[in-house]
Amino acid sequence: MPDFDSMRRHMVDTQVAGRGVSDRRVLDAMRQVPREAFVEAGSEGLAYDDGPLPIGSGQTISQPYVVALMAEAAGIRPADTVLEVGAGSGYAAAVMSRIARHIYAIERHARLAEAARERLTRLGFDNVTMMVGDGTRGWPAMAPFDAILVAAGGPDVPAALKEQLAVGGRLVIPVGRTRNRQTLLKLVRTAPDAYEEDDLGPVMFVPLIGEQGWARGDRG
């Protein structure tokens, strides 16, 4: 049986902190979440590799560094309510749940969402609420959000997500004019009708499919 605790510590020290992520809350959260429980059966030994892994339904669990980078960029704090779009296996939601007050997570694939819900409940991550739906529309009933993180790349920032961000809130999302390569953007809502934007560098995510993202059959 692999020593997952040692592998987790090594991942945080080398892949995350070693590449510049310094937010103590994020690093502590990454140390607490058993990533091996969020990958497909048979892939547990690869859970702490420096790269994404398939989780079924054509989706992936993001590279550990990218999860940490996005969480740090979002500036998540203990009192925050956070929206995650593209929950996948639930790993990033679990990490953020160790920092924030509550995580609302949306996943468009029902099979992945149900598996993530069961996994999070079984592991005791009880401040995560999961919904199946179109994440590009956000979750209006639970808005406004202090932070919104999107784990899929769209052609533009969905207007619904911008509207559901609290003033002072942070939105981190990959955006690009093709489906295969994007730029990671951070938006801060500085006033009801004003946003500041920061370019965090090139990334590669699965496509953001939905009403305000890519159409299902659109190749981009």
Q: Which of 22, 62, 89, 97 is catalytic?
A: 62
Beta-bridge mates of residue 81: 102
Query: Do residues 75 and 98 lie in contact, with contact meaning Cβ atoms separated by under 8 Å?
Result: no
Which residue matches tokens 């999107």? 150
Q: Is 190 helix (H, G, I), strand (E, B) or coil?
A: strand
The Cα–Cα gap between 134 and 140 comes to 12
Element (H, E) at 69: helix 64-73
Q: How many CB atoms lie within 10 A of CB 162?
A: 16
Contacts of 193 (CB under 8 A, 6+ apart): none
62 a catalytic residue: yes
Give the residue numbers marked as catalytic.
Answer: 62
